[in-house]
Amino acid sequence: MLTGDSYLVAGTDGVGTKLKLAFEMGKHDTIGIDLVAMSVNDIVTSGAKPLFFLDYFATSQLDVDLAEQVIKGIVEGCKQSDCVLLGGETAEMPGFYAKGEYDLSGFAVGIVKKEHVVDGKAIREGDMLLGLPSSGVHSNGFSLVRRVLSDSGVSLSSVLPDSDSTISIGEALLAPTVIYVKEVLELVDAGKVKGLAHITGGGFTDNIPRIFPKGLGASVDFGSWQVPPIFKWLKKVGGINDAEMRRTFNMGIGMVIVASPESAEDILANKGDKVIYKIGRVVKGEGVAYC
């Protein structure tokens, strides 16, 4: 939507069946961060700064303490994305939801000046792909995650193998989605970004090609970053092949930036203590090739 010299950009999303794990673990104070992240990370791919956020919370019977925990996470998510929690809706629907369960959806609105719109049209062969790390599974692929858990019989309280800490599998899976807004907008405002892909459902395989002009694809080097232990565990225990892993999960990269070689090197040289990986490049062709 055009308003003056700027566009309004809107997005809406939920957190899918990650909620089921929150119910099982009785942990509700970070799921709101996921809710905000899914919408603001989507609209920031256009270069838009989030202005405000609205939430929808539906349950069978309102548990005030539980709702406060959820709202706490939403407030934190809005703080991380520098936007306002403008309002929302709380709905009680007895008989529709199981006792103690709820559903969430969120709505974000942002703004971007015409000259700062990121639309991928300037992407060319030879441009570089930079990756910003994820915190884990984020909020996509949980139907497959839950199948793996069910088939394996592994407890959510079991320690995650090959992890540097004693984090449990459940804690690793519930790690809140990273909000990339401030980091990405800093680069957009500096004119260093040609394209952005939020790695959600569809993983690398489906999300990266969407931002490319016709005739261009991506070559991604999977050895250029450390894949988090939770993905290695899911692959091993679930017997999931590489193609399905890359199409379903973010594999440790939550946001992909496309930049010219010069801008990419400048971003990497001035990243300070931020973690940014050079993960690939734009090539002729279609889709994503892995090496």
Q: Give the pLDDT score at 277.
A: 98
Largest CA distance in the chain: 58
Domains of the chain: 2-116 (3.30.1330.10), 128-290 (3.90.650.10)
Q: Which residues pair with 102 in a beta bridge?
A: 59
Grade residue 70 by pLDDT with cuts at 50, 70 and 90. Answer: very high
CA distances from 147 to 142, 143, 144 (A): 8, 6, 5
Note whether 204 and 288 are within 8 A (CB): yes
User: What does the alpha-carbon distance between residue 33 and residue 31 come to, in Å, rounded to a whole number?
Assistant: 5
The 288-290 sheet, strands edge to edge:
195-198, 253-259, 128-133, 277-284, 216-220, 288-290
At which residue do the structure tokens 């309280």 appear? 157
Q: In terms of DSSP bridges, do strands 288-290 and 216-220 run parallel, antiparallel, or are they unpaired?
A: parallel
State what percent of residues in the chain have pLDDT above 70.
99
Closest CA to 225 of 154, 179, 273, 280: 280
User: What does the alpha-carbon distance between residue 6 and residue 21 come to, in Å, rounded to a whole number?
Assistant: 40
Grade residue 164 by pLDDT with cuts at 50, 70 and 90. Answer: confident
Q: Is the pLDDT of residue 26 over 80?
A: yes
Reported as a single tens digit per residue, the pLDDT across 170-217 is: 999 999 999 999 999 999 999 999 999 999 999 999 999 999 999 999
Q: Give the pLDDT score at 1.
A: 65
The SS3 of residue 219 is strand
Kindly state the average pLDDT of the residues 69-93: 97
Reported as a single tens digit per residue, the pLDDT across 213-227 is: 999 999 999 999 999
Grade residue 169 by pLDDT with cuts at 50, 70 and 90. Answer: very high
**Residue 233 phi, psi dihedral angles, 5° rounding:** -65, -45
Question: Tokens for 22?
Answer: 């929150």
Kindly state the average pLDDT of the residues 71-77: 98
Q: Give the pLDDT score at 291.
A: 87
